[in-house]
Structure 1
């Protein structure tokens, strides 16, 4: 497998600084025999201007907010039309490590039917790297997910599919078409990536943890639990439950329940009565 690798990013203007830093870092990432190109999909109501060297698309918000799953699907469609042989999905908040593209390509050459997932480090607010070679000293992969040694990978177990994060992953065109992309019924924040992973498991698509394919999540203010996304979490959680028979994001939902903002209702959850 050589040729074209698309890096697909959905973004909105409130993350433009992160997007520009990601673009700068990606311009320094390479892999032998591979051409890397960007596909950026805007999520705002109005399309953004397209800079040179970027293939752009646009997916406007729906009635319940930004449509991240639909934007990733549109990015994949554009990338495949451009002849991409590997699709790398990278969240707008994430900086690519120097070996991210190389490791994804190498692993998918050997395991073309798997979803490849690299480790993600959450940078602190004071960590603002300016060059890729500064990232090594900041590397501390999130402990909740597997992180194989730099040149190794391993197959994920059935129980590990719920550890899939759409922050950083890669697939071949064949695997993407087999899965049919993200479920576009999910709007706003939450659960579309867990649904994607559940469908992968149900379809017999492998999950592979890729050492060395590091991504670095740039800091931004966030709540824990994320109060501004409460209604999205309840709506998307109910959608997920109707498909899979259980609620996702239970840590956050339990925190909302403990705070008195959410209550159990009819086997699920809703905003607590005032």
Structure 2
């Protein structure tokens, strides 16, 4: 089974560099790696400096919300054109565990899992020391995210909660990707497009599997909780999701924004942005 890793990247030079190195150390090296550069010319420089054979695909972007869904679709199209039979999507912040590629491929070969979304455990790493992360020992920090299944290595657990799907690390066969139809490109910026992808998969009868041993390790970077810097994107994408699926996604973040007085909820109009300085409501982007 020909495997291809798809990574979308923008202004994450150090994280991309370590991901490239981790894939070189993999017990099963992917047949191809497509790195989609979203308006960031430094991506090609990093790939070249590492001596990587990854193909860099350029996506024009100047300002505004990042076109994450469009970039993933473009990367998948390039990988399929190169003959990929299994697409492995790996967030640029993630280091591939040594067995990740092999585990995804082994499970995808099995008839009972071939037509499912395959999701591996992800560990959020603490900040690195002065010397950065040591790829020889990063697996020792394995503590998979507690909100998602993390089966023992060598096992596969069927899932039914598609809200738990995330795009940090997952794999899908070419046939199943085409069956789902890719990510909805109406989403731009942060949040919602991966849950929409999972719901689209569920509507198409595509199963969900949690793959033990297909570990990835998310490199540390500062974040806000809730992510107030992405407030507008989350509101816009949440409204789009509600229109498509009849429910609000990312409810934990929406409630946290509401608790902080950043947004309000109206049963007739949904969530709306509230000015933090004057206290009056105003129209956000497409809200």
- Does the 8 Å CA contact 2:30/2:101 hold for their aligned counterparts? no
- Paired residue for 1:43? 38
- Paired residue for 2:145? 142
| Whole-angstrom CA distance in 2 between matches of 1:117 and 1:234 | 26
- Paired residue for 1:84? 84
- Paired residue for 1:19? 16
- The verdict on how the C-alpha distance between 1:48 and 1:59 changes in structure 2, with shifts beyond 3 A counting, is same
- Does the 8 Å CA contact 1:39/1:54 hold for their aligned counterparts? yes
- Paired residue for 1:120? 122
1:227 aligns with 2:228: yes
CA deviations over 1:128-166 (Å, ceiling 9, x no partner): 4222x3122100000100011100001112xx1110010
- Does the 8 Å CA contact 2:36/2:75 hold for their aligned counterparts? yes
Superposition TM-score, scaled by structure 1 size:
0.93
Superposition TM-score, scaled by structure 2 size:
0.88
In the TM superposition, what is the alpha-carbon distance from 1:177 to its structure 2 partner? 0.4
Gaps of 5+ in 2: 280-287
Q: RMSD of aligned C-alpha atoms?
A: 1.6
CA deviations over 1:94-123 (Å, ceiling 9, x no partner): 000011001000110012101100000000
- Does the 8 Å CA contact 2:10/2:40 hold for their aligned counterparts? no
| Whole-angstrom CA distance in 2 between matches of 1:63 and 1:137 | 39
1:209 aligns with 2:175: no
In the TM superposition, what is the alpha-carbon distance from 1:35 to its structure 2 partner? 4.5
Gaps of 5+ in 1: none
| Whole-angstrom CA distance in 1 between matches of 2:146 and 2:40 | 36
| Whole-angstrom CA distance in 2 between matches of 1:181 and 1:30 | 28
| Whole-angstrom CA distance in 1 between matches of 2:221 and 2:200 | 30
Number of corresponding residues: 266
1:9 aligns with 2:4: no
- Does the 8 Å CA contact 2:9/2:43 hold for their aligned counterparts? no
| Whole-angstrom CA distance in 1 between matches of 2:272 and 2:258 | 9
- The verdict on how the C-alpha distance between 1:107 and 1:66 changes in structure 2, with shifts beyond 3 A counting, is same
